[in-house]
Amino acid sequence: MTEEECADWYRQRGTHVICHRDRYWKETVRGFYQPLHWLARLSAQQANSPTPLSWGFQTTLSEVDATAANASMPIHWLPNLENYDLHSLTSNRRNHLRKCYKRVNIVHLDKPTLLQQQGYEVFMSALKRTAYRQIPSKKDYLKGLADYSTPERRLILAGVNGEQLLGYITGYAVNSIAYIDEVVIATEALSTDIGTGLLFEFAQVCRRSGLIRELVNGLHSREDENLCVFKEGMGFQVKHIPAKVQINPIVEQFIQWRYPHKYYRLVGCQLRRRSPS
Protein backbone atom coordinates (compact mmCIF):
# COMPACT_ATOMS: atom_id res chain seq x y z
CA MET A 1 0.00 0.00 0.00
CA THR A 2 0.93 3.62 -0.26
CA GLU A 3 0.89 5.56 2.99
CA GLU A 4 -2.43 7.16 2.01
CA GLU A 5 -3.97 3.75 1.23
CA CYS A 6 -2.70 2.51 4.57
CA ALA A 7 -4.37 5.46 6.29
CA ASP A 8 -7.70 4.62 4.63
CA TRP A 9 -7.27 0.98 5.68
CA TYR A 10 -6.65 1.94 9.31
CA ARG A 11 -9.68 4.24 9.32
CA GLN A 12 -11.85 1.40 8.00
CA ARG A 13 -10.59 -0.69 10.94
CA GLY A 14 -11.74 1.99 13.38
CA THR A 15 -8.37 3.58 14.17
CA HIS A 16 -8.20 7.33 14.72
CA VAL A 17 -5.88 8.70 12.00
CA ILE A 18 -4.67 12.29 11.61
CA CYS A 19 -2.96 13.81 8.57
CA HIS A 20 -0.32 16.29 9.71
CA ARG A 21 2.21 17.93 7.40
CA ASP A 22 1.50 15.36 4.68
CA ARG A 23 2.15 12.37 6.95
CA TYR A 24 -0.39 10.09 8.64
CA TRP A 25 -0.44 9.48 12.38
CA LYS A 26 -2.46 6.97 14.40
CA GLU A 27 -3.61 7.26 18.00
CA THR A 28 -2.08 4.13 19.55
CA VAL A 29 -3.53 4.81 23.01
CA ARG A 30 -5.75 7.70 23.99
CA GLY A 31 -3.72 10.88 23.49
CA PHE A 32 -0.49 9.27 22.23
CA TYR A 33 0.42 9.26 18.53
CA GLN A 34 2.79 7.46 16.19
CA PRO A 35 3.08 7.53 12.38
CA LEU A 36 1.00 4.60 11.17
CA HIS A 37 3.95 3.78 8.91
CA TRP A 38 6.48 3.05 11.67
CA LEU A 39 9.58 3.52 9.58
CA ALA A 40 8.31 6.44 7.55
CA ARG A 41 11.37 8.34 8.83
CA LEU A 42 9.95 11.84 9.01
CA SER A 43 11.86 15.05 8.48
CA ALA A 44 12.63 17.25 11.48
CA GLN A 45 9.92 19.66 10.31
CA GLN A 46 7.30 16.90 10.19
CA ALA A 47 8.33 15.37 13.54
CA ASN A 48 6.12 17.24 15.96
CA SER A 49 2.81 16.58 17.66
CA PRO A 50 0.01 16.09 15.11
CA THR A 51 -2.51 17.60 17.55
CA PRO A 52 -2.28 19.95 20.55
CA LEU A 53 -4.51 17.54 22.49
CA SER A 54 -1.86 14.80 22.72
CA TRP A 55 0.26 13.99 25.77
CA GLY A 56 3.00 12.50 23.65
CA PHE A 57 4.27 11.16 20.35
CA GLN A 58 7.03 8.98 18.92
CA THR A 59 8.38 8.96 15.39
CA THR A 60 11.44 7.80 13.50
CA LEU A 61 13.55 10.36 11.67
CA SER A 62 15.15 10.47 8.25
CA GLU A 63 18.90 9.93 7.98
CA VAL A 64 19.31 13.55 6.94
CA ASP A 65 17.68 14.74 10.16
CA ALA A 66 19.05 12.04 12.47
CA THR A 67 20.91 14.71 14.45
CA ALA A 68 17.52 15.95 15.68
CA ALA A 69 16.89 12.60 17.40
CA ASN A 70 16.55 12.48 21.16
CA ALA A 71 15.74 8.77 21.35
CA SER A 72 15.60 5.63 19.19
CA MET A 73 13.04 3.06 18.15
CA PRO A 74 14.35 -0.48 18.88
CA ILE A 75 13.07 -2.94 16.27
CA HIS A 76 13.71 -6.50 15.13
CA TRP A 77 14.89 -5.92 11.56
CA LEU A 78 15.94 -8.29 8.79
CA PRO A 79 19.06 -7.09 6.96
CA ASN A 80 19.83 -8.05 3.36
CA LEU A 81 16.29 -9.23 2.61
CA GLU A 82 17.03 -9.66 -1.10
CA ASN A 83 19.49 -12.48 -0.27
CA TYR A 84 17.56 -14.07 2.60
CA ASP A 85 17.65 -17.88 2.36
CA LEU A 86 18.38 -21.00 4.41
CA HIS A 87 21.94 -19.88 5.00
CA SER A 88 20.65 -16.75 6.74
CA LEU A 89 19.45 -18.98 9.60
CA THR A 90 21.51 -20.57 12.34
CA SER A 91 22.11 -24.30 11.90
CA ASN A 92 19.65 -24.98 14.71
CA ARG A 93 16.92 -23.01 12.96
CA ARG A 94 17.63 -24.72 9.65
CA ASN A 95 17.01 -28.05 11.36
CA HIS A 96 13.78 -26.72 12.82
CA LEU A 97 12.69 -25.52 9.40
CA ARG A 98 13.27 -28.95 7.85
CA LYS A 99 11.29 -30.51 10.69
CA CYS A 100 8.45 -28.06 10.07
CA TYR A 101 8.29 -28.86 6.36
CA LYS A 102 7.85 -32.55 7.19
CA ARG A 103 4.89 -31.95 9.49
CA VAL A 104 3.25 -28.71 8.33
CA ASN A 105 1.95 -27.48 5.01
CA ILE A 106 2.23 -23.69 4.74
CA VAL A 107 -0.39 -22.10 2.50
CA HIS A 108 -1.48 -18.61 1.46
CA LEU A 109 -4.98 -17.62 2.58
CA ASP A 110 -6.71 -15.23 0.19
CA LYS A 111 -10.02 -15.48 2.07
CA PRO A 112 -10.82 -15.87 5.78
CA THR A 113 -12.86 -19.08 5.56
CA LEU A 114 -10.35 -21.30 7.39
CA LEU A 115 -9.87 -18.71 10.13
CA GLN A 116 -13.64 -18.34 10.49
CA GLN A 117 -13.92 -22.09 10.97
CA GLN A 118 -10.90 -22.83 13.18
CA GLY A 119 -9.07 -19.57 13.90
CA TYR A 120 -10.71 -18.66 17.20
CA GLU A 121 -9.65 -21.88 18.91
CA VAL A 122 -6.06 -21.40 17.73
CA PHE A 123 -6.12 -17.73 18.79
CA MET A 124 -7.50 -18.62 22.21
CA SER A 125 -4.84 -21.31 22.70
CA ALA A 126 -2.09 -18.84 21.83
CA LEU A 127 -3.40 -16.12 24.15
CA LYS A 128 -3.78 -18.50 27.08
CA ARG A 129 -0.09 -19.37 26.64
CA THR A 130 1.34 -15.90 26.02
CA ALA A 131 -1.18 -13.72 27.92
CA TYR A 132 -0.09 -10.76 25.82
CA ARG A 133 -3.64 -9.44 25.57
CA GLN A 134 -7.13 -10.18 26.79
CA ILE A 135 -8.96 -13.00 25.03
CA PRO A 136 -11.77 -11.54 22.89
CA SER A 137 -15.16 -13.12 22.50
CA LYS A 138 -15.64 -15.33 19.46
CA LYS A 139 -18.04 -12.74 18.08
CA ASP A 140 -15.40 -10.00 18.28
CA TYR A 141 -12.76 -12.30 16.77
CA LEU A 142 -14.98 -13.14 13.80
CA LYS A 143 -15.86 -9.48 13.38
CA GLY A 144 -12.16 -8.66 13.13
CA LEU A 145 -11.75 -11.17 10.32
CA ALA A 146 -13.86 -8.97 8.03
CA ASP A 147 -10.68 -7.00 7.37
CA TYR A 148 -8.88 -10.19 6.27
CA SER A 149 -10.95 -10.37 3.09
CA THR A 150 -8.71 -7.79 1.37
CA PRO A 151 -5.65 -9.85 0.33
CA GLU A 152 -4.20 -6.92 -1.60
CA ARG A 153 -3.67 -5.18 1.76
CA ARG A 154 -2.73 -8.05 4.07
CA LEU A 155 -0.70 -11.21 3.61
CA ILE A 156 -1.89 -14.25 5.56
CA LEU A 157 0.05 -17.52 5.64
CA ALA A 158 -1.36 -20.49 7.52
CA GLY A 159 0.21 -23.71 8.72
CA VAL A 160 -2.03 -26.75 8.35
CA ASN A 161 -1.80 -30.48 8.91
CA GLY A 162 -4.37 -32.03 6.64
CA GLU A 163 -7.46 -29.91 7.28
CA GLN A 164 -6.39 -28.82 10.77
CA LEU A 165 -5.23 -25.24 11.30
CA LEU A 166 -2.14 -25.12 13.50
CA GLY A 167 -1.27 -21.43 13.31
CA TYR A 168 -0.96 -18.40 11.07
CA ILE A 169 1.03 -15.24 10.43
CA THR A 170 -0.25 -11.91 9.11
CA GLY A 171 1.46 -8.79 7.85
CA TYR A 172 1.28 -5.86 5.48
CA ALA A 173 3.56 -3.53 3.56
CA VAL A 174 3.70 0.23 3.10
CA ASN A 175 5.80 1.36 0.16
CA SER A 176 8.96 -0.76 0.39
CA ILE A 177 8.71 -1.80 4.05
CA ALA A 178 6.84 -4.88 5.31
CA TYR A 179 5.61 -5.33 8.87
CA ILE A 180 4.76 -8.61 10.55
CA ASP A 181 1.51 -7.99 12.40
CA GLU A 182 0.52 -11.21 14.20
CA VAL A 183 1.95 -14.68 14.72
CA VAL A 184 -0.70 -16.97 16.22
CA ILE A 185 0.20 -20.59 17.02
CA ALA A 186 -1.79 -23.20 18.93
CA THR A 187 0.13 -24.48 21.94
CA GLU A 188 -0.17 -28.10 20.86
CA ALA A 189 1.45 -27.22 17.51
CA LEU A 190 4.65 -25.71 18.95
CA SER A 191 6.47 -29.05 18.71
CA THR A 192 6.17 -28.92 14.90
CA ASP A 193 8.35 -25.76 14.77
CA ILE A 194 5.62 -24.10 12.77
CA GLY A 195 6.79 -20.68 13.98
CA THR A 196 10.07 -21.13 12.13
CA GLY A 197 8.30 -22.13 8.94
CA LEU A 198 5.74 -19.32 9.01
CA LEU A 199 8.35 -16.62 9.60
CA PHE A 200 10.74 -17.97 6.97
CA GLU A 201 8.03 -18.26 4.31
CA PHE A 202 6.67 -14.79 5.09
CA ALA A 203 10.13 -13.36 4.49
CA GLN A 204 10.40 -15.35 1.25
CA VAL A 205 7.17 -13.83 -0.06
CA CYS A 206 8.56 -10.37 0.70
CA ARG A 207 11.85 -11.21 -1.01
CA ARG A 208 10.20 -12.59 -4.13
CA SER A 209 7.90 -9.58 -4.48
CA GLY A 210 10.75 -7.47 -5.80
CA LEU A 211 9.11 -4.47 -4.12
CA ILE A 212 9.94 -4.98 -0.45
CA ARG A 213 13.34 -3.77 0.79
CA GLU A 214 12.93 -4.04 4.56
CA LEU A 215 11.11 -6.44 6.90
CA VAL A 216 10.27 -5.51 10.50
CA ASN A 217 9.28 -8.11 13.08
CA GLY A 218 8.01 -5.94 15.90
CA LEU A 219 9.68 -3.85 18.55
CA HIS A 220 12.56 -5.27 20.58
CA SER A 221 11.10 -7.34 23.43
CA ARG A 222 14.21 -7.40 25.57
CA GLU A 223 12.34 -8.94 28.53
CA ASP A 224 11.45 -12.04 26.47
CA GLU A 225 14.84 -13.71 26.08
CA ASN A 226 13.50 -16.79 24.31
CA LEU A 227 11.69 -14.69 21.71
CA CYS A 228 14.81 -12.60 21.09
CA VAL A 229 16.95 -15.71 20.68
CA PHE A 230 14.40 -17.13 18.23
CA LYS A 231 14.32 -13.98 16.11
CA GLU A 232 18.10 -13.72 16.14
CA GLY A 233 18.33 -17.33 14.98
CA MET A 234 15.99 -16.45 12.12
CA GLY A 235 18.37 -13.70 10.99
CA PHE A 236 16.64 -10.69 12.57
CA GLN A 237 18.84 -8.10 14.25
CA VAL A 238 18.01 -5.50 16.87
CA LYS A 239 18.31 -2.12 15.20
CA HIS A 240 17.87 1.29 16.78
CA ILE A 241 16.29 3.80 14.41
CA PRO A 242 16.90 7.50 15.24
CA ALA A 243 13.68 8.84 16.70
CA LYS A 244 12.06 11.86 18.26
CA VAL A 245 9.92 11.32 21.35
CA GLN A 246 7.90 13.76 23.42
CA ILE A 247 6.01 12.65 26.53
CA ASN A 248 4.26 14.57 29.27
CA PRO A 249 6.84 14.54 32.13
CA ILE A 250 4.42 13.21 34.76
CA VAL A 251 3.20 10.43 32.46
CA GLU A 252 6.78 9.66 31.46
CA GLN A 253 7.90 9.20 35.06
CA PHE A 254 4.99 6.85 35.70
CA ILE A 255 5.66 4.72 32.59
CA GLN A 256 9.38 4.55 33.39
CA TRP A 257 8.63 3.39 36.94
CA ARG A 258 5.68 1.09 36.31
CA TYR A 259 6.46 -0.29 32.84
CA PRO A 260 10.24 -0.11 32.26
CA HIS A 261 10.20 -2.40 29.21
CA LYS A 262 7.42 -0.43 27.55
CA TYR A 263 9.36 2.73 28.35
CA TYR A 264 12.41 1.22 26.65
CA ARG A 265 10.33 0.59 23.52
CA LEU A 266 9.25 4.22 23.60
CA VAL A 267 12.68 5.80 23.94
CA GLY A 268 15.17 3.03 23.10
CA CYS A 269 18.65 4.41 23.58
CA GLN A 270 17.82 7.81 25.02
CA LEU A 271 20.38 10.14 23.49
CA ARG A 272 19.80 13.24 25.55
CA ARG A 273 17.22 14.99 27.65
CA ARG A 274 14.13 15.52 25.54
CA SER A 275 12.98 19.08 25.05
CA PRO A 276 9.28 19.99 24.80
CA SER A 277 9.78 21.58 21.38
Do 48 and 36 belong to one domain? yes
Give CA–CA dist 81/208, Å, rounded: 10
Do 7 and 97 belong to one domain? no
Among 58, 54, 31, which Cα is nearest to 243's? 58
Residue 273 lies in a domain: no
The string of DSSP codes covering 95-142 is HHHHHHHHH-EEEE-SSSHHIIIIIHHHHHHHHHHH-SSPPPPHHHHH
Give the CATH number for residue 127.
3.40.630.30
Where does residue 188 rank: exposed (0-12), middle (13-18), buried (19+ CB within 10 A)?
exposed
Do 224 and 89 belong to one domain? yes
pLDDT of residue 276: 44
Residue 277 lies in a domain: no
Where is 267: in which H helix or E strand?
Answer: helix 260-267
Do 228 and 244 belong to one domain? no
| Helix-, strand-, coil-residue percentages of the chain, each rounded to 5 | 40, 30, 30
pLDDT digits (tens, 9 = 90+) for 89-124: 999 999 999 999 999 999 999 888 999 999 999 999
pLDDT digits (tens, 9 = 90+) for 225-249: 999 999 999 999 999 999 999 999 9
| Average of per-residue pLDDT across 24-53 | 94
More confident residue, 65 or 40: 65
pLDDT beyond 60 at 201: yes
pLDDT beyond 70 at 38: yes
Under the banding of pLDDT at 50, 70 and 90, the label for residue 273 is very low
Q: Do 266 and 247 meet the contact criterion of CB atoms below 8 Å apart?
A: yes
Q: Do 44 and 69 meet the contact criterion of CB atoms below 8 Å apart?
A: no
pLDDT of residue 262: 94
Do 50 and 165 belong to one domain? no
Residue 32 lies in a domain: yes
| Average of per-residue pLDDT across 173-195 | 96
How many structural domains is the chain composed of? 2
Residue 276 lies in a domain: no
Give CA–CA dist 122/165, Å, rounded: 8
pLDDT of residue 269: 80
Do 107 and 218 belong to one domain? yes
Residue 274 lies in a domain: no
| Average of per-residue pLDDT across 67-76 | 96
Angle at 179 between CA 169 and CA 234, to 5 degrees: 65
pLDDT of residue 274: 46
| Average of per-residue pLDDT across 60-81 | 95
Domain that residue 152 falls in: 80-233
Give CA–CA dist 229/224, Å, rounded: 9
pLDDT of residue 31: 94
Do 48 and 152 belong to one domain? no
Do 42 and 155 belong to one domain? no
pLDDT beyond 50 at 275: no
The string of DSSP codes covering 224-261 is -HHHHHHHHHTT-EEEEEEEEEEE-HHHHHHHHHH-HH
Q: Whole-number mean pLDDT of the chain?
A: 92
Do 111 and 219 belong to one domain? yes
pLDDT digits (tens, 9 = 90+) for 131-164: 888 889 999 999 888 877 666 788 999 999 999 9
Under the banding of pLDDT at 50, 70 and 90, the label for residue 16 is very high
pLDDT beyond 60 at 190: yes
Residue 146 lies in a domain: yes
Where is 35: in which H helix or E strand?
Answer: strand 32-35
